[in-house]
Amino acid sequence: MSLSMYSLSVPVFTAKLTNLAAILKKAAQHAEAHKIDPEVLTQARLYPDMFPLTRQVQIATDQAKGCGARLAGLEPPKFEDVERTFPELDARIERTLSFLKTLKSASFEGSEDRTIRLEMRDRTREFKGLVYLVDYVYPNFYFHATTVYAILRHNGVEIGKGDFLGSI
């Protein structure tokens, strides 16, 4: 069996974003059951200089859709970063999943060697596709998804490793 850039990206992001959506649903249910204002959780941080949960979800979805688009040779879709509630975060994940479903594996052929350019605040970075996926996107995507999990777990939401990993 050979691995393709498509199989290393789109199905991975799809599975983990699906798990992330399920975790956020549990968080919303937890807030309701314990009479906690949901914004307490959506604006929670692990440390004052870290982004709140909402921004963590936004960045995780940006990594997934951006990577999928760039590896497929497309311009990444732009989403406004306006989510503040669990339903809005769920909708953002669903928009990302919907976009990922539009990507065709054939458009990823040769993307391991495709030059990927990222315009950042203070510089432009260039990667070959495989390095971009493995050394840049994976760590960023998992960092932000894990931080969402950690924020919710720290705030008492009853989730575990199985919720994060899903059924594998």
Where are the domains positioned within the chain? 5-165
Question: How far is 57 from 40, CA to CA, in rounded Å?
Answer: 15
CA distances to 6, 24, 114, 118 from 108, in Å: 6, 30, 9, 18
pLDDT of the residue at 1: 54
CA distances to 1, 10, 61, 68 from 44, in Å: 43, 29, 18, 29
The one-letter code for the residue type at 72 is: A
Residues 6+ apart with CB under 8 A from 78: none
The pLDDT tens digits along the chain (168 residues) read 578 999 999 999 999 999 999 999 999 999 999 999 999 999 999 999 999 999 999 999 999 999 999 999 999 999 999 999 999 999 999 999 999 999 999 999 999 999 999 988 899 999 999 999 999 999 999 999 999 999 999 999 999 999 999 876
Judged by DSSP in three states, 99 sits in helix
CATH for the stretch 5-165 = 1.20.120.450
DSSP conformational letter for 116? E
And the tokens for 87?
């339903």
pLDDT of the residue at 104: 97
pTM of the model: 0.96
